[in-house]
A = this chain, B = another copy of it.
Amino acid sequence: MTAGRTKRQEKAKAAARELDSSRKVSILWLRDVLRVLCRKRTATRKEIITETGLNTASLSHTIKYLSRHGTVLKVGSLESEAGRRREVYNLNAEAAFFLALDFEQRLRFALLNLAGDIRGHWELPLEWGEAPDMERILQGFQRLLRTLEPHQVRRVVALGISYSGMLDGQGRLTAVNLGLRNFPFVSELNEKMKSLVSPDLAIFLEPDRHCAMWAERWLGQAREHRNSILLFSESGIGCGLCVDGKPVEGWRNLAGEIGHITVSADPNLHCKCGKQGCLETVASSPAIVRHYLALTGQRNRKERAVTALEVYDKARGGDGSARTVVDRAVEGMALALSHVIHLINPGIIILGDDFAGPEDYLIPQLRAKLENLVLPELMDGIQIVASHLGPDMRLRGAGALALRKSLEAPELLTKICSPVLPHSKR
């Protein structure tokens, strides 16, 4: 009868039954409360109620359950203006751990706790076109796991992976900017990581733009914004959209392709996608460098002779050629962002990666151009800021992915909430 069910489904059902039947706590309440605490770390009863919509009875049951298990700690009471005590709860950040991998031009590894702190960090350079050595990847994870006590290793819940490029149905990765084609990534990693950590370890993968957005939502500038845009530049242009508190994934997980929005009618702006005038052809970091070298008669110099950040610096310093290049980039960015603003009505626009460096120069120009392109009621009060997460944005996002997906899966949520017994050896 159960032949059609997968093991995973059965486990999820058993976990949900266990929670539902023996206690008055619904798995949905646990999820909602942990979502708030993982984002805020510390919250009052009232804040949790406001954000989750739970009633006080359900919240009490849930908090009691989480406190008994050591997932949440009561840290005291604040006196409010009206003289009533407000109970304050703190997340036990070491109640669960997550592994994260940013699969980009460098492979970056991290071990994070439930509050998003990076507990360990490691990286490995990757040559263009070179398939990464699986043994070295495993050694990297091993090195991170060695920083944990054995009882903590059992609380490593999931691995989150941020990748650029496309994964096919067989879990093979094709990433043009890394020179990889059909690299059999997922199946091999899956098996080896499970034997390294535990057979229960869950592995989640998402495109880098979604991971970066999750990082901003969990730990960065989007924490208090339910509707936001993240625009970042490296080899291409990435865009994370957050609508009503959740990153937009799209029908086939392909949302956020802002880099291929047409922003120019210039027929000489060929994009590697085969179209013309895409945003990437004027505003990505390689495009900035390419146009600057062409304009200064250095067309034949190696592109690495100058970086995009240096071109932004020159423009800030008054260099005419650099200004021309950056002006065109900003024009393209403003046009593409004007579409996003009309469509999504975000409260904040976050610039990341190479766009975050020259923020003092870029943001005022971008705002001025947007004001000409966007309806005033949509520009009114909108924030334009730089990301603070730096080069760890996607890596932290991979951790955020692992956390979010784990909260959604009953059997992983149960693992996060299982009793914390620091001195037990099994």
Residues in chain B near residue A340, CB distance under 8 A: 343
Considering the chains assembled together, what is the distance between the CA atoms of A28 and B53 in angstroms? Answer: 10
Contact yes or no, B248 A344, CB < 8 A: yes
Contact yes or no, B257 A342, CB < 8 A: yes
Q: Residue A301 at the B interface, CB < 8 A? A: no
Contact yes or no, B377 A345, CB < 8 A: no
Chain B proximity of A337: nearest CB distance (Å)? 11
Assess A255 versus B345: contact at CB under 8 Å? Given A26-B28, A249-B244: yes
Number of A residues near B (Cβ < 8 Å) is 59
Residues 403-426 (chain A) with a chain B CB within 8 angstroms:
410
Contact yes or no, B244 A375, CB < 8 A: no
Considering the chains assembled together, what is the distance between the CA atoms of A273 and B382 in angstroms? Answer: 19
> Could you give, for residues 45-58 of chain A, a 1 whenever the CB lies within 8 Å of some chain B CB and a 0 otherwise?
00000000001111
Chain B proximity of A7: nearest CB distance (Å)? 16
Q: Residue A246 at the B interface, CB < 8 A? A: yes
List 21 A-B pairs, Cβ < 8 Å. Answer: A1-B84, A13-B55, A16-B58, A17-B55, A17-B57, A20-B57, A26-B28, A227-B251, A227-B255, A250-B346, A251-B346, A252-B345, A252-B347, A252-B377, A254-B377, A255-B344, A260-B374, A261-B338, A261-B342, A262-B335, A336-B339
- Nearest residue in B to A4 (C-beta to C-beta)? B82
Residues in chain B near residue A347, CB distance under 8 A: 251-252
Residues 230-262 (chain A) with a chain B CB within 8 angstroms:
239, 241, 243-244, 246, 248-258, 260-262
Considering the chains assembled together, what is the distance between the CA atoms of A425 and B412 in angstroms? Answer: 51
List chain A positions with a Cβ less than 8 A from chain B.
1, 13, 16-17, 20-21, 26, 28, 55-58, 82, 84, 166, 225-227, 239, 241, 243-244, 246, 248-258, 260-262, 265, 273, 275, 335-336, 338-340, 342-347, 372-375, 377-378, 382, 410
Considering the chains assembled together, what is the distance between the CA atoms of A424 and B413 in angstroms? Answer: 46
Contact yes or no, A257 B338, CB < 8 A: no
Residues in chain B near residue A84, CB distance under 8 A: 1
Assess A254 versus B13: contact at CB under 8 Å? Given A57-B21, A249-B244, A262-B335: no
Considering the chains assembled together, what is the distance between the CA atoms of A58 and B225 in angstroms? Answer: 33
- Nearest residue in B to A56 (C-beta to C-beta)? B13
- Nearest residue in B to A12 (C-beta to C-beta)? B55
- Nearest residue in B to A253 (C-beta to C-beta)? B345
- Nearest residue in B to A248 (C-beta to C-beta)? B243
Chain B proximity of A53: nearest CB distance (Å)? 8
Assess A273 versus B375: contact at CB under 8 Å? Given A17-B57, A346-B251: yes
Q: Report how many copies the assembly holds.
A: 2
Chain B proximity of A82: nearest CB distance (Å)? 8
Chain B proximity of A283: nearest CB distance (Å)? 15
Contact yes or no, A342 B260, CB < 8 A: yes
Contact pick for A345, options B257, B261, B373, B374, CB 8 Å: B257
Assess A343 versus B375: contact at CB under 8 Å? Given A244-B248, A251-B227: no
- Nearest residue in B to A273 (C-beta to C-beta)? B375
Contact yes or no, B377 A55, CB < 8 A: no
Contact pick for A58, options B20, B254, B255, B346, CB 8 Å: B20
Contact yes or no, A339 B345, CB < 8 A: no
Residues in chain B near residue A21, CB distance under 8 A: 57
- Nearest residue in B to A380 (C-beta to C-beta)? B252
Contact pick for A256, options B82, B254, B343, CB 8 Å: B343
Residues in chain B near residue A239, CB distance under 8 A: 343
Assess A343 versus B257: contact at CB under 8 Å? Given A55-B17, A227-B250: yes
Considering the chains assembled together, what is the distance between the CA atoms of A21 and B342 in angstroms? Answer: 45
Considering the chains assembled together, what is the distance between the CA atoms of A346 and B251 in angstroms? Answer: 5
